[in-house]
Structure 1
């Protein structure tokens, strides 16, 4: 008979992950050998399975049952805010380190398709759980893990030692890979990127795999699974949606809202029009991802109002263009204002309608090719560039 404690512990999580297909049989012994609780600090901010919000701190010393329940739930656990400067109990501004959602961890490990004897480079050690899973499966000598934040790296090293695993743990810039350990059969990133560092391709054997969360600065993100070719390029489809913290050296630097309006009151010098496309239609993660591939060099934010009304703002990275669209519940037409050389709402609407015309493709129909001259996205096949 299964007890309530077992349901909330490793066995319960394992059963749920196996039932969902996230945890494959070849990884089940490793899951059991590397307890997640050994790689979670005493203070955590649990997320939700859908990744829609994060809760206030859960402290193991104050509420061990709630802490253990969070650890053995299929949710991400934020372990650091604002590069360690936030120390309060509430949520900070930006989550900067975490223990990732178990379903995502094992989904990516499945994408990685490791075999006995493979050497793996991991970018983003975090709490060390993913590195420990790889080291337990492949042997510590076959795993190199890189973490940029010295304090995060120290915590991971302590966790790994406590479970008698000793992968090569480097404190440094993950973009550079680790030339002394190359070549690698596999590279996996546990932080999101907008540009695949070419060093990762150079340090991977032909036929090897690179698995990494990828997305533009616009929004929407997916796991890229790239096969390294003999010609020095890497190419492959996306496998699933994702939501990871950005590689620190690739975090966007964005201007404040007032910079775009140049100190004027809205609508400033904007040109007014209307649209029948509701901004709600662009809320989905795959919609955001698809639009992002055609509307490059942009980002957006939402300004909430009363009674369910809100304004979506679009901005160009070069600070020259902006647009706004007003959403009102029940409306069939929406006010649009655009300013600058780029008509950002027109571009966004055109990109969305293009996605619909292609049959509303999901992430797995999109792909990415990376070479020494840059990267290109495509739909269905590498020759069909976006």
Structure 2
């Protein structure tokens, strides 16, 4: 038994024990598809240095690289949109832009996709190609189409898939537009997060077909959503509570904040919903439904901590300060951001603070709605 085969078998057993692998076809895929083949350019591991998050490359000729490939963890494969592990030495302090998702989440999503033999699948976000390889093993490469926005990442995935014996249809392009030439699909799965599910995905999925994607927001809370497409061209479904996080699709990333507003202006009042309430994952999800274009940052000014929400698009802002036992909010711009959030949180709490797994998602040609059952 080769070293990597032993590692594949051990990974499959670990994922089964943890409850991620639930059916034999997907277990066979994990036992057969070599994850390390999709990481031959290396990966970045997080450093423990103080200050901003740092990343250092781990290359295939280093001890521990192979074992690292088979840990149930996400492995960053690209930094700042262009930088791969082979491009640097030492440490880099930039944001990750591509990764190999932790296998436990990958197989959990594939299980939740509920594929059947003969299903045609569109995958949004090829990444390293590992999840694409699992789909090919389960369904056959002729039934798998995968899209990746970054041509370089797509080409590396193509090479890794070919080396592993798979040749699905790979498209370099904007996954939010889908691939209409191959529609309709029986299943659509996204391995990037979206702030709004594109209606193009609904159009390209047959009635009765399933869409599985992560709904996210610029405040940083996100959950898996599974929707079924109806005969009327509308997709409906619910969220899975589980705090799933993916990188947001590049075209839906928040814009640069630019010049911050003058927060000394505006009207100030007390608020019963404070910035600390947003530390709760569910409350934050509710808040970003109410203010979908708001970004949050924490500043220290004149010896006090300020929590600033900014909507770059329309210039609205709200700043929250904790004074003793009381939170105050000061707002400016055309929209009272915190009023919207406070109102939504109170309505959610009045309904009994239902869990995110009770939230309903609907996508129509007019757009997306997300809500909770009213108490």
TM-score by length of 2: 0.87
- The answer to which of 345-354 and 170-179 deviates more is 345-354
Matches within 5 A, 1:1-386: 9-26=7-24, 27-46=26-45, 56-61=55-60, 63-65=62-64, 67-85=65-83, 87-88=87-88, 89-240=90-241, 241-258=243-260, 260-261=261-262, 266-267=263-264, 269-303=265-299, 310-327=305-322, 331-380=324-373
Q: Secondary structure at the residue paired with 1:190?
A: strand
Moved over 6 A (4+): none
Q: Partners of 2:312 and 2:191 in 1: how far apart?
A: 26
- 1:239 CA drift (Å): 1.7
* Unmatched runs of 5 consecutive residues or more in structure 1: none
- 1:223 CA drift (Å): 1.2
Q: Partners of 2:148 and 2:321 in 1: how far apart?
A: 42
Q: Secondary structure at the residue paired with 2:194?
A: coil
Do the aligned partners of residues 341 and 33 (structure 1) sit closer, same or farther apart at CA in structure 2, a change above 3 Å counting?
A: same
Q: Partners of 1:244 and 1:25 in 2: how far apart?
A: 24
Q: Partners of 1:248 and 1:297 in 2: how far apart?
A: 15
Q: Partners of 2:153 and 2:108 in 1: how far apart?
A: 24
- 1:169 CA drift (Å): 1.0
Do the aligned partners of residues 61 and 107 (structure 1) sit closer, same or farther apart at CA in structure 2, a change above 3 Å counting?
A: closer
- 1:306 CA drift (Å): 11
Q: Secondary structure at the residue paired with 1:64?
A: coil
Q: Secondary structure at the residue paired with 2:209?
A: strand
Aligned length: 363
- Superimposed CA distance per residue, residues 14-60 of structure 1 (whole angstroms, 9 cap, x where no aligned partner): 33322221121331111111122121244322469xxxx96622413
Q: Partners of 1:360 and 1:12 in 2: how far apart?
A: 40
Do the aligned partners of residues 154 and 207 (structure 1) sit closer, same or farther apart at CA in structure 2, a change above 3 Å counting?
A: same
Q: Partners of 1:41 and 1:270 in 2: how far apart?
A: 54
TM-score by length of 1: 0.85
- Superimposed CA distance per residue, residues 353-376 of structure 1 (whole angstroms, 9 cap, x where no aligned partner): 333222222221112111112121
Q: Secondary structure at the residue paired with 1:83?
A: coil
- 1:305 CA drift (Å): 8.0
Contact 1:46 1:75 in 2 (8 A): no
- Superimposed CA distance per residue, residues 257-316 of structure 1 (whole angstroms, 9 cap, x where no aligned partner): 42x22xxxx42x132333354422211222211221123332212236899x74211112
- The answer to which of 125-134 and 278-287 deviates more is 278-287
- Superimposed CA distance per residue, residues 74-106 of structure 1 (whole angstroms, 9 cap, x where no aligned partner): 221111112105754434433211101222211
Contact 1:47 1:77 in 2 (8 A): no
Do the aligned partners of residues 318 and 136 (structure 1) sit closer, same or farther apart at CA in structure 2, a change above 3 Å counting?
A: same
* Unmatched runs of 5 consecutive residues or more in structure 2: none
Do the aligned partners of residues 350 and 373 (structure 1) sit closer, same or farther apart at CA in structure 2, a change above 3 Å counting?
A: closer
